[in-house]
């Protein structure tokens, strides 16, 4: 079985959690690095997507030989992030908070938005251990709903269950989960989601100056409910340690409909782009982001 087939199966996540509980950190990191290097050499859709995404973001030709190293770095970053995340989860809520510092800026901007009583949508890119972004919010006592990709694989269903256990109710995107999100936001609550997971058709957004397949859904929610958007991310700050960073609050523009949602989503992407650019080795996006890339 290839590494990525194991990861996507129902075996990968329980095995990773078990190893995180029983193995010391150093051998676990060595194992993760070895598996990452193997995965980066596989002829898989994920490898091809990472290569195309890195080529665009780094402004390199698709056949530039330096992209092999870039792809390897991304898979190694994913391995390190999973080690840190699973070791923290295996040791409980306090260890989770120790492994990922929550910046005062993020907390203060969250409180500013929530005090309006019109809800807040936290959006972020898949940098480093993205789940820290979701789990530390729940671990700090905030009641939140996370919107995850629709039609999840077995691995994603298990991952969503773990997220929910740590206080962030994780729901694959559907008509019902969107209704739940709208109700939560109109009650002044908190919703979290990624903004760089591509969809099937372009929706008129640009990222790194090029048209993308990135979604508008979170911006449509904000326009419909009046909720604020807060871009944020998780970045590495040392071995096994991460920190959240926050952008600036974005409030829905006047007007309604697709144009208003598109303007709002583009503002969020414009804040996220320099963060991704600074941490390209940590950008764990395994699906093609750009149209024609």
DSSP per residue, 17-39: HHHHHHS-HHHHHHHHHHHHHHH
Q: Structural domain boundaries of the chain?
A: 3-93, 100-279
Q: Please tell me what DSSP assigns to residue 195.
A: S
Task: Report the C-alpha gap between 26 and 58 in whole angstroms.
Answer: 31
For the record, the structure tokens of 196 come out as 């760089």
Predicted pLDDT at 154: 61
pLDDT of residue 155: 62
Q: Say if CB 128 and CB 145 are below 8 A apart.
A: no
- Are the C-beta atoms of residues 238 and 209 closer than 8 Å to each other? no
* pTM (2 d.p.): 0.91
Six token digits for residue 115: 């005090």
3-state class of 247 per DSSP?
coil
How confident is the model at residue 156, as a pLDDT? 64
| Predicted pLDDT at 157 | 66
What is the structure's pLDDT at 192? 95
The pair of three-digit structure tokens given for residue 49, joined into one six-digit string:
């997507």
CB 162 within 8 Å of CB 89: yes
pLDDT of 206 = 98
Residues of the chain with pLDDT under 70: 1-14, 151-160, 162, 166-167
Task: Give pLDDT, residue 6.
Answer: 44
Model pLDDT, residue 7: 54
Q: What sign does the dihedral 130-135-141-144 (CA atoms) show?
A: positive
């Amino acid at each position: 079985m290839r590494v990525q087939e194991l990861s996507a199966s129902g075996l990968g996540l329980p095995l990773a959690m078990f190893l995180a509980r029983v193995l010391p950190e150093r051998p676990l990191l060595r194992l993760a690095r070895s598996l990452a290097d193997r995965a980066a050499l596989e002829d898989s859709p994920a490898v091809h997507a990472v290569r195309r995404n890195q080529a665009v973001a780094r402004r390199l030709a698709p056949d530039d030989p330096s992209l092999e190293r870039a792809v390897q770095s991304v898979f190694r970053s994913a391995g390190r992030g999973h080690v840190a995340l699973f070791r923290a989860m295996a040791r409980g809520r306090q260890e989770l908070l120790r492994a990922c510092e929550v910046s005062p800026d993020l907390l203060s901007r969250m409180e500013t938005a929530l005090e309006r009583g019109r809800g807040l949508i936290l959006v972020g890119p898949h940098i480093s251990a993205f789940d820290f972004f979701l789990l530390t919010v729940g671990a700090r006592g905030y009641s939140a709903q996370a919107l995850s990709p629709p039609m999840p694989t077995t691995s994603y269903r298990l991952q969503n269950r773990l997220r929910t256990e740590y206080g962030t109710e994780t729901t694959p995107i559907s008509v019902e989960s969107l209704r739940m999100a709208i109700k939560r936001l109109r009650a002044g609550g908190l919703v979290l989601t990624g903004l760089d997971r591509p969809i099937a058709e372009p929706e008129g957004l640009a990222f790194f100056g090029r048209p993308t397949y990135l979604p508008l859904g979170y911006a449509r929610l904000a326009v419909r409910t009046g909720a604020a958007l807060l871009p944020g991310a998780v970045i590495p700050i040392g071995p096994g340690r991460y920190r959240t960073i926050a952008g600036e609050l974005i409030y829905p523009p006047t007007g309604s409909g697709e144009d208003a949602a598109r303007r709002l989503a583009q503002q969020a992407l414009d804040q996220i782009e320099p963060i991704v650019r600074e941490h390209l080795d940590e950008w764990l996006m395994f699906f093609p982001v750009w149209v024609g890339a």
